[in-house]
Amino acid sequence: MDTTYAITLCEGTSCMQQGMRHLSAVLDEQLEKHGLKDRVKINISGCLGMCHKGPIMVVNPGYTLYGGLKEADVVQIVEEHLIKGRPIARLVIEEDHLFNRFFRIFGDVNFFGKQMRIALRNCGIIDPENIDNYLALRGYEALAKALTDMTPQGVIDELKTSGLRGRGGAGFPTGLKWQFTADQDNDEKYVICNADEGDPGAFMDRSAIEGDPHTVLEGMIIGGYAIGATQGIIYIRAEYPLAIERLEKAIDQAREHGLLGDNILDTDFCFDLEIRLGAGAFVCGEETALIQSIEGGRGMPRPRPPYPSVSGLFGKPTLINNVETWANIPVVIVDGGEWFSSIGTEKSKGTKVFALAGKVVNTGLIEVPMGTTLREIIYDIGGGIPNGKSFKAIQTGGPSGGCLPAEYLDTPVDYESLAEAGSIMGSGGMIVIDEDSCMVDIAKFFLEFTQSESCGKCTPCREGTKRMFEILTRITEGKGCEGDIEKLERLGDMIQKSSLCGLGQSAPNPVLSTIKNFREEYEEHIRDHICRAKVCTSLIAYKVNDACVGCGACKRACPVHAISGRTKQKHTIDQTQCVRCGICFTTCKFNAIDKI
Amino acid sequence: MKETVNITINGKAYEVDAGQTIMQAADACGYHIPRLCYHPDLSIEGACRVCIVEVEGQRNYVASCAYPVNEGMVIATNSAAIRRARRDIVELLVDNHPQDCHTCERDGNCELQTLAFAMGIRKRHFEGERKKFEQDLSSPSVVRDPEKCILCGRCVRMCKEIQGINALGYANRGFNTVVVPAYNMPFGESVCSHCGQCINVCPTAAFTEHNYTQEVFEKLNDPDFVKVVHIAPAVRAAIGESFGLEPGQDMEQETVAALRRLGFDFVFDTQFAADLTIMEEGSEFLERLQGKGKLPMITSCCPGWINTMEKFHPDFIDNVSTCKSPMSMMSSVIKTYFAKKNNMDPAQLFVVSVMPCTAKKCEAARPEHTIDGRPSTDLVITTRELAWMIKSAGIDFVNLQGEAFDKPLGMSSGAAPIFGVTGGVMEAAVRTAYELYTGETLTDIELEAIRGFEGIKETSLDIDGTTINVAVAHGLGNTARLLDILRKEPNRYHFVEIMACPGGCVGGGGQPYPMVNSIPLDEECLQKRAEVLYGIDRGNTIRRSHENPEIQRLYKEFLGRPLSEISHELLHTEYGQKKPQGIVSGKLTQ
């Protein structure tokens, strides 16, 4: 039987500069020449991170890693490896980055072939309930290295070199945060993992914990070592029972193996972890509200300064990072900060996990190097818009993010570029929107969420988002007035600048960005009473057209008996009774009902 | 750290102390940044966002109450952008607030009104739904009106940080956020001590006292009753503020005149009963000193303290003096001694007391404080309620010719007015106890060591060779701390005075609201009120309770002697543990 192969060519900047395009053309030629085109799939990936050994090619199955390729090497690979099944030893490189394992197994899958899994490196290839799996894949090697070969300051320096920034959304330089906390002179310090993940539909952190809890634990223990803490807390939302269970098991197993508790790995370092559950509040993902919640209080944020690194949990210096940030730490320590900083863009290093959702063919969790463009994510990895619909917008950053239209598709995904475009990185939500969605309705949907989750402490967020929501509701009901858009802009601007915490500061984002990028839709709703996407029920109507054969199916289906007509005769919908539920529209088998 | 930093406010350079917030620095430089949730005695919330300012280099506005000053900071407190943002924020508060200023308790003296006016809100841009909550009338002392609440959180912080009672907290989220007692139970059934400090700090009418002025006016017009009123010390020290006078004016004689014009038949002075309380309590203390009762003895005149003691510190029930408060002693004496002396049927006496206190309304309703099955005090009104009644009746208070109290229950010694200040009851008791014990007159009668607003004060006295240690606490938070000390060292003190309100009764839950440019519980204001009372003491020739001739007559004609059987029946009471609702604690379920 002839083996089918999947070849991944690294098209990171470095490999491209070293001639990958030419090699790619040579490969194509060779495959054509030998009639192998239907047996060999070519994947293009972003930077695989081994730039000094480039150009890089990965051949799967078997995960053979070729580097330093020239044209003659490519020819030889096709002849020896693909046709005769014999990998060429002299071209194989032994780079053994932590993330390679995932690639080894899934590198031939199109969807994964274009990603770079660092935080999610073990998800899907280990049993998360078995610490031995984690240990076999160089698990806790970073901890051992840190405790025995590095000083706490050395760990922090490595982190600074890496350029890692907080993955919870704010993007604060992690090394700097660790430095601030380490610099505090206090015997009692805390390390916290923010696993509250409140964005509706987001599941990056959940998957990371469910798939590989130990990477988070390892990261936290290293963090405790670096700043001088002996106690860590994982604050996880109660709605993640499986993740909680896996965490508990992982903590137990780590303790059994001497990786948590007293004298870890026979050093003087003592550190232990406990789990605290959330209770259903989005605002408890905000760090100061989270701390209040752990202290037993109501999750309401506190003014900063003082920052948690100075005065956090119980008033002590506290290092609080997101799950994904912690998951990156072991890789930074083992593979080095310098290597890590070679991935991504100038100011945003490493990779980011995104939850790709909405109107896109491939939905799911992806992890890509910073700098990958939105277009690549939506079309190359996501597979584009299904059902032949056209792309309308992409919302990044969850309910606090902005909606970017097509002209922003070439925006590279990094903190600065997204902010400049008018959105945010957030924790990684990415929702693709097609022509069938109404931007005003979407803005209203997200504002409803943030208003209901507002903790109620500060006036702009508590009262202001409610008023913005009322205006948006009126607009979607066809009762918008001249001046409403200006009111939304005025309120939105004030709420962004005056709110106490990030929830309020970012709640107006969906509204303001849709007004900026889709103002005509708002104006159409207000002035013309038109919803071009035909979503806002008050602005649409259902009418029977001449294709109607009088079968009566719609009449029977209508919940408010708004349809009348005799059998075999064209039916009519009474517009005064119709509640725009759309059941007749979906029931009709003859396309005899128009949505206008 | 450097001692000072250089900052710029609105374009002008200033050198200010380091280590303070922008608001504090601005105040010191003469810029009063508008504020709502900030109070110097309470923790910083940064909640209202009214005090926002622009700081160069910061993308967002910062709350000046929380943000520290730094070298070189450039601050704008009144730029066009900040003015507009601040105006919008205050409008948002007004938009979710009842529009009934004309019929509201705080009309003319409401912080929201003042702010809205200062912001120049002329047209409303953001009106929409308004929150709907029921008024909570379940407590005899404090009424909650959540619709008027602007969620500044001062009440929550006052009750938590200073009083330590934690009766109030936030519930729900977003538009539905509200401040409620735990489990949203009726306020009257909660752990609330009725001290009324929430009323004092509330910027609007979300908290007010349970108002009985209508009932009093009705009775004043009822010819079938003999209307008797008595007023507490702290009332005369503060009531002038309700009429625009500076704090620190003694308006005793004007108040007596006003009460007569309102229609009261007899105007007595609760201070008389303060002297009576000293006689009874001083004697009780001496008995306990000789082994007939538990030490330390703790005063019992403060109903906020009694409420808290019965709910949370029942292990001290036997320590508390059995004496009723001056208010209840007074009302008892009126409905017995006074009625008899004047051949009146006690059933026809209607006794109103004017108190600086909201918890007194609760005390008056206690089943133990009855005469012949009827309450001894029929109604309690606060200083604020009386001030309103005087205004409502069109009496020109500040220009009244002063009048004296009626006899015989109108005379008091100098030891009586100081009951209204923290430490005063102890001082008054010591003056008498010393003499009763030693037979000699105490000459140094102003005990400086227990005056002032330190949370817990203590001193020792030598009474004829015996050292007596006394302690004074004010504010329920300090009270709890003192009680914890007592639990660890039960023999540390012999006599303890407790007042639930910070500053004592001068800072009571029923005292006048602060003036327009002042803050609630301003210490300077409390100090001035206290000085009035100390001044009355100094101005009195008789400064010891036992030297009050009317007191001596009362004993001679009616009571016999302190702690006699009649005294016990009319002037003493008992307490019982009250389990607060919804509290589950090992310590309390005994």
Q: Which of A418, A434, A450 is the last residue of a domain?
A: A434
B464 CB neighbour count, 10 Å cutoff: 10
List of E strands, B294-452: 297-298, 349-355, 370-371, 374-375, 379-382
Tens digit of each residue's pLDDT, chain A (596 residues)? 467 888 888 776 678 888 898 999 999 999 999 998 888 988 776 666 566 777 888 888 777 888 889 999 999 999 998 888 888 888 888 766 776 777 767 766 767 767 888 999 988 888 889 999 899 888 999 999 999 999 999 999 999 999 999 999 889 999 999 999 999 999 999 999 999 999 988 889 999 999 999 999 999 999 999 999 999 999 999 999 999 999 999 999 999 999 999 999 999 999 999 999 999 999 999 999 999 999 999 999 999 999 999 999 999 999 999 999 999 999 999 999 999 999 999 999 999 999 999 999 988 889 999 999 999 999 988 989 999 999 999 999 988 899 999 999 999 999 999 999 989 999 899 999 999 999 999 999 999 999 999 999 999 999 999 999 999 999 999 999 999 999 999 999 999 999 999 999 999 999 999 999 999 999 999 999 999 999 998 899 999 999 999 999 999 999 999 999 999 999 999 999 999 898 999 999 999 999 88
Contact B129 A470 (CB under 8 A): yes
A125 falls within a domain? no
pLDDT score recorded for residue B590? 38
Indicate the residue of A462, A470, A498 with minimum beta-carbon distance to B85: A498
Whether the CB-CB separation of A566 and A526 falls below 8 Å is answered with: no
CATH code of residue A329: 3.40.50.11540
Are A205 and A293 found together in one domain? yes
> Which backbone phi and psi does A442 adopt, to 5 degrees?
-65, -45
CATH code of residue A561: 3.30.70.20
Query: Rounded to an integer, what distance in angstroms lies between the CA atom of residue B165 and that of residue A354?
Result: 47
Taking CA atoms, A505 is separated from A41, A301, A465, A502, A508, in Å, by 47, 13, 11, 5, 7
End-to-end CA gap in chain A: 57
Tally of domains within chain A: 5
Are A519 and A574 found together in one domain? no
Q: Which of A497, A499, A509 is the best substitution to test chain B (most B C-beta atoms within 10 A)? A: A497
Beta partners for A351?
A: A369
Whether the CB-CB separation of B298 and B313 falls below 8 Å is answered with: no
Domain that holds residue A163: 131-339
Contacts of B109 (CB under 8 A, 6+ apart): B513, B516
Contacts of A584 (CB under 8 A, 6+ apart): A542, A554, A557, A558, A563, A573, A593
A173 falls within a domain? yes
Q: Which helix (H) or strand (E) holds B227?
A: strand B226-231
Relative to beta strand A391-396, strand A429-434 is antiparallel
Are A355 and A323 found together in one domain? no
A534 falls within a domain? no
Whether the CB-CB separation of A365 and A203 falls below 8 Å is answered with: yes
Query: Comparing C-alpha atoms, which of B241, B176, B204, B244 is closest to residue B116?
Result: B204
pLDDT score recorded for residue A200? 87
Indicate the residue of A453, A462, A467 with minimum beta-carbon distance to B126: A467
Average pLDDT of the residues in B255-264: 97
B316-356 per-position pLDDT tens digit: 999 999 999 999 999 999 999 999 999 999 999 999 999 99
Taking CA atoms, B541 is separated from B183, B237, B415, B537, B547, in Å, by 54, 20, 11, 8, 10
Q: Which helix (H) or strand (E) holds A248?
A: helix A241-256
The verdict on A484 touching B (C-beta cutoff 8 Å) is: no
B317 CB neighbour count, 10 Å cutoff: 15
A200 falls within a domain? yes
pLDDT score recorded for residue A95? 64
Using the structure block, give the residue that is written with the tokens 């209901």: A452
Distance from CA of A453 to the nearest CA of B (A): 6
Q: Which of B55, B73, B126, B151 is the best substitution to test chain A (most A C-beta atoms within 10 A)? A: B126
A574 CB neighbour count, 10 Å cutoff: 12
Are A334 and A360 found together in one domain? no
Contact A458 B93 (CB under 8 A): no
Are A252 and A330 found together in one domain? yes
Distance from CA of A512 to the nearest CA of B (A): 16
Average pLDDT of the residues in B94-116: 94
How much is the pTM? 0.89
Contacts of B218 (CB under 8 A, 6+ apart): none
Residues in chain A: 596
Query: Comparing C-alpha atoms, which of A535, A464, A534 is closest to residue A504?
Result: A464
Q: Which helix (H) or strand (E) holds A375?
A: helix A374-375
Distance from CA of B173 to the nearest CA of A (A): 5
User: Which amino acid is located at A275 in the chain?
Assistant: I
Relative to beta strand B226-231, strand B266-269 is parallel
Query: Rounded to an integer, what distance in angstroms lies between the CA atom of residue A518 and that of residue B442?
Result: 86
Query: Comparing C-alpha atoms, which of B335, B324, B379 is closest to residue B355?
Result: B379
Are A417 and A545 found together in one domain? no
Whether the CB-CB separation of B334 and B362 falls below 8 Å is answered with: no
Whether the CB-CB separation of B575 and B306 falls below 8 Å is answered with: yes
CATH code of residue A404: 3.10.20.600
Query: Rounded to an integer, what distance in angstroms lies between the CA atom of residue A246 and that of residue B89?
Result: 46
Whether the CB-CB separation of A57 and A78 falls below 8 Å is answered with: no
Are A189 and A323 found together in one domain? yes
Query: Comparing C-alpha atoms, which of A379, A352, A438, A395 is closest to residue A169?
Result: A352
The verdict on A527 touching B (C-beta cutoff 8 Å) is: no
A122 falls within a domain? no
The answer to whether the bond into A173 is cis (omega within 30° of 0) is: no
Q: Say whether B467 sits in a helix, a strand or coil.
A: strand
Rounded to 10°, the helix B270-289/B326-333 angle is 110
Taking CA atoms, B536 is separated from B413, B503, B512, B533, in Å, by 9, 18, 20, 5
The verdict on A474 touching B (C-beta cutoff 8 Å) is: no
Are A284 and A409 found together in one domain? no
- Pick left, alpha or beta for residue B433 (phi over 0 → left; psi -120 to 50 → alpha; otherwise beta): alpha
**Chain B residues with CB within 8 Å of chain A CB:** 44-50, 52, 59-61, 63, 65-68, 84-85, 88-89, 92-93, 95-96, 125-126, 128-129, 150-151, 153, 169-170, 172-177
Q: Which helix (H) or strand (E) holds B92?
A: helix B80-95
Taking CA atoms, A411 is separated from A44, A170, A394, A585, in Å, by 19, 19, 11, 38
Whether the CB-CB separation of B522 and B238 falls below 8 Å is answered with: no
**CA A398, A404, A410: angle at the middle one, nearest 5?**
115
Query: Comparing C-alpha atoms, which of A208, A294, A288, A285 is closest to residue A243?
Result: A208
Q: Which of A528, A549, A576 is the last residue of a domain?
A: A528
| Residue B278's pLDDT band (cuts 50, 70, 90) | very high
Query: Rounded to an integer, what distance in angstroms lies between the CA atom of residue B231 and that of residue B326?
Result: 10
Query: Rounded to an integer, what distance in angstroms lies between the CA atom of residue B580 and that of residue A105?
Result: 63
Query: Comparing C-alpha atoms, which of A74, A69, A83 is closest to residue A28?
Result: A74
Q: Say whether A365 sits in a helix, a strand or coil.
A: strand
Contact A459 B63 (CB under 8 A): no
pLDDT score recorded for residue B384? 97
Contact B46 A460 (CB under 8 A): no
| Residue B588's pLDDT band (cuts 50, 70, 90) | very low
B505-549 per-position pLDDT tens digit: 999 999 999 877 778 888 999 999 999 999 999 999 999 999 999
A575 falls within a domain? yes
Are A163 and A259 found together in one domain? yes
Whether the CB-CB separation of B422 and B453 falls below 8 Å is answered with: yes
Which 8-state DSSP code applies to residue B42?
A: S
A470 falls within a domain? yes
Query: Rounded to an integer, what distance in angstroms lies between the CA atom of residue A111 and that of residue A303?
Result: 43
Beta partners for B467?
A: B462
Q: Which of B58, B86, B91, B173 is the best substitution to test chain A (most A C-beta atoms within 10 A)? A: B173
Are A21 and A94 found together in one domain? yes
Whether the CB-CB separation of A514 and A442 falls below 8 Å is answered with: yes
User: Which amino acid is located at A347 in the chain?
Assistant: K
Contact B46 A302 (CB under 8 A): yes
Whether the CB-CB separation of B297 and B471 falls below 8 Å is answered with: no
Tokens matching residue B288: 């306990």
CATH code of residue A32: 3.40.30.10
ipTM of the complex: 0.91
Are A334 and A384 found together in one domain? no
pLDDT score recorded for residue A2? 65
Residues of B with catalytic annotation?
281, 284, 301, 321, 360, 363, 368, 505
Taking CA atoms, A427 is separated from A168, A204, A433, B366, in Å, by 5, 8, 19, 59
Are A367 and A300 found together in one domain? no
Query: Comparing C-alpha atoms, which of B48, B193, B141 is closest to residue B502?
Result: B193
CATH code of residue A513: 1.20.1440.230
A533 falls within a domain? no
> Which backbone phi and psi does B534 adopt, to 5 degrees?
-60, -35
Q: Which of A339, A365, A384 is the last residue of a domain?
A: A339
Q: Which helix (H) or strand (E) holds A366?
A: strand A364-369
Q: Which helix (H) or strand (E) holds A148?
A: helix A141-149
Query: Rounded to an integer, what distance in angstroms lies between the CA atom of residue A119 and that of residue A296?
Result: 31
Distance from CA of B178 to the nearest CA of A (A): 8
Indicate the residue of A455, A466, A494 with minimum beta-carbon distance to B85: A494
Relative to beta strand A272-277, strand A231-236 is parallel
Whether the CB-CB separation of A82 and A40 falls below 8 Å is answered with: yes
**Chain B residue with the nearest C-alpha to that of A452:** B174
Tokens matching residue B429: 């008791």
Q: Say whether B408 sits in a helix, a strand or coil.
A: coil
> Using CB atoms and an 8 Å cut-off, which of residues 269-308 of chain A contact chain B?
281, 283, 298, 300, 302-303, 305
Contact A458 B96 (CB under 8 A): no
Contact B46 A458 (CB under 8 A): yes
Q: Which of A463, A479, A482, A500 is the best substitution to test chain B (most B C-beta atoms within 10 A)? A: A463
**CA A477, A481, A482: angle at the middle one, nearest 5?**
145
Q: Say whether A324 sits in a helix, a strand or coil.
A: helix
